[in-house]
């Protein structure tokens, strides 16, 4: 309960000493004061926006590390030894289902972030204490860490069973955050903002420097987190409403201010990993058929078109651009969750969710960019996708953005049921069956694309379904064929082509039609350069 100020108390006492009419006025004043009290402690995106706007009007101050050498110079294995004590969870003894754990600073997580709690009556900082942590075999002088802070935090919630707390969301490093739903494991990451990704000038990584977390009452089904973003050329205010469930959902409201000129502003960026898969098999013998957090970029364009772009691990940096006005959604998806597609008992790529951005409102003219970076192993996130507007705001003027992030294992539910979608893309050597029934390579490259969904399942097997295929000028089309697939009641498209110059990529597009009616999303693929 809020305490009145001395001046407010004096006013109330004065009025209550007066006749009945004035006492009624006093009741009105009391109610008004209660409303003022509620408003005074009401915290909103506007409060963070005021700070972001002020930051944008000042020169950027490079944050300084406050880490002792013990933590700054440690290796990853040593950093992993620092564990948060689960019995010290913030709100641990409260009835709310949400609990907070904190990350200790260490390695490149060397800048503290300020974390605040919003209660019914105040906003207060959550103070760092070494008592929150088990340092394992590390010898730590309490005096040396007394002035440190937190590197980030995670939210725990009974996601899978009522009697066990699971990780729901983690916020650690720059503006990165990861979220999971029921029966999922961490995979791709989301970010607050991306600046100049894949440009020769180098990428700028904005960071969340301060958080405000609303105390959730026991009956609350979601958690509200505010964040203040800062970087040399941009600032931002963010509101995240996180709702856990089979599909965990994050409703994002952001207000971004530019400090200086930006060549490319990445809105709603998603970051993932793709090492190899059926469309680009491993160059080395590997018992796993695929190893990736996501296997394709899906786009729902403003004109209603759906597009699917399988991912690559290219030999050199690749940037693909899709011009879209007022997109309805896009995401990095993990299509296919059968264990047999991955065969990895340790990392469970079959349980890693897709990340889908559902656009709220009109975003105007712009483009969705896909950045693919070469990587030799699965430890590097090498895939980035984001929306970048054609028109950037003036310095100091806000860019307001709203979208919903969904983390799901149920990709067909994201898709229009009026169009079939690509369930897999497989690479093969092109061949011809000889009269002796032996298949003979003819020097072509083949792609096998399986489409499935109600739009195809509801057609009789004998329906005349044709393919519309187009290639870039670096390849010749040898053959296309479409046949009924009795396994998924869909259709299998086979495209055979001959590459002219292997040192250059080949662009391909395909869709299935019945007469004038489009039956499927557009398969849009880039065969990477072979050097």
Instruction: Quick: pLDDT tens for 41-56.
Output: 589 999 999 999 999 9
Angle between helices 6-16 and 20-41 (to 10 degrees): 160
Taking CA atoms, 259 is separated from 138, 232, 355, in Å, by 42, 7, 30
Pick out the chain residues at pLDDT < 70. 1-41
pLDDT tens digits, residue range 231-264? 999 999 999 999 999 999 999 999 999 999 999 9
How many Å apart are CA 412 and CA 370, to the nearest integer? 22
Q: What is the pTM of this model?
A: 0.90
Within its chain, how far is the Cα of 158 from the centroid?
A: 22
Distance CA 451, CA 349 (A): 22
- One DSSP character per residue, 311-333 reads ----SS-EEEEEEEES--EEEEE
The enclosing H or E element of 124 equals strand 123-125
Measured distance CA(283)–CA(292) in Å, rounded? 15
pLDDT at res. 41: 57
Task: List, as one string, the DSSP characters of 386-452.
Answer: EEEESSPPPTT--EEEEEEEEEES-GGGGS-TTSBEEEEEEEEEEEEE-TTS-EEEEEEEEEEEEEE
């Amino acid at each position: 309960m809020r305490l009145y100020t001395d001046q407010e108390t004096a006013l109330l006492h004065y009025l209550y000493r007066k006749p009945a009419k004035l006492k009624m006025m006093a009741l009105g004043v009391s109610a008004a004061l209660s409303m003022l009290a509620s408003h005074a402690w009401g915290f909103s995106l506007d409060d963070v926006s005021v700070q972001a706007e002020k930051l944008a009007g000042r020169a950027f101050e490079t944050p300084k590390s406050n880490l002792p050498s013990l933590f700054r110079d440690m290796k990853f294995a040593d950093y992993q030894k620092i564990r948060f004590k689960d019995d010290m969870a913030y709100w641990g003894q409260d009835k709310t289902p949400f609990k907070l754990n904190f990350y200790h600073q260490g390695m490149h997580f060397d800048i503290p972030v300020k974390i605040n709690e919003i209660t019914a009556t105040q906003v207060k900082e959550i103070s760092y204490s070494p008592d929150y942590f088990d340092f394992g075999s590390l010898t730590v002088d309490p005096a040396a860490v007394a002035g440190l802070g937190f590197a980030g935090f995670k939210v725990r919630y009974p996601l899978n069973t009522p009697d066990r707390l699971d990780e729901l969301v983690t916020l650690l490093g720059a503006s990165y955050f990861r979220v999971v739903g029921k029966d999922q494991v961490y995979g791709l990451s989301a970010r607050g903002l991306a600046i100049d990704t894949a440009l020769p000038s180098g990428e700028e990584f904005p960071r969340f420097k301060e958080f405000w977390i609303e105390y959730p009452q026991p009956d609350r089904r979601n958690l509200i987190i505010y964040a203040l973003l800062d970087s040399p050329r941009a600032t931002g205010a963010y509101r995240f409403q996180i709702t856990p469930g089979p599909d965990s959902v994050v409703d994002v409201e952001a207000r971004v201010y530019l400090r200086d000129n930006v060549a490319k502003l990445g809105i709603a960026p998603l970051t993932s990993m793709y090492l190899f898969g059926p469309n680009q098999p491993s160059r080395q013998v590997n018992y796993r058929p695929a190893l990736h957090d996501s296997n394709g970029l899906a786009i729902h364009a403003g004109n209603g078109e759906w597009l699917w772009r399988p991912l690559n691990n290219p030999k050199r940096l690749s940037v693909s651009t899709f011009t879209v006005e007022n997109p309805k959604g896009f995401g990095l998806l993990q299509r296919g969750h059968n264990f047999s597609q991955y065969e990895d008992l340790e990392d469970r790529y079959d349980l890693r969710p897709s990340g889908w951005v559902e656009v709220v409102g009109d975003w105007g003219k712009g483009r969705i960019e896909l950045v693919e970076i070469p990587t030799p192993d699965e430890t590097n996130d090498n895939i980035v996708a984001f929306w970048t507007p054609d028109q950037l705001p003036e310095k100091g003027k806000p860019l307001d953005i709203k979208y919903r992030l969904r983390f799901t294992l149920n990709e067909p539910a994201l898709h229009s049921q009026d169009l079939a979608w690509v369930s897999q893309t497989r690479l093969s050597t092109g061949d011809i069956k000889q009269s002796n029934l032996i298949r003979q390579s003819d020097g072509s490259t083949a792609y096998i694309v399986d489409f499935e969904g109600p739009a195809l399942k509801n057609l009789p097997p004998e329906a005349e379904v044709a393919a519309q295929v187009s290639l870039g000028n670096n390849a010749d089309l040898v053959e296309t064929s479409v046949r009924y697939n009795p396994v998924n009641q869909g259709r299998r498209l086979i495209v055979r082509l001959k590459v002219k110059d292997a040192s250059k990529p080949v662009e391909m597009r395909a869709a299935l039609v019945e007469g004038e009616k489009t039956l499927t999303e557009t398969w849009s693929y880039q065969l990477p350069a072979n050097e």
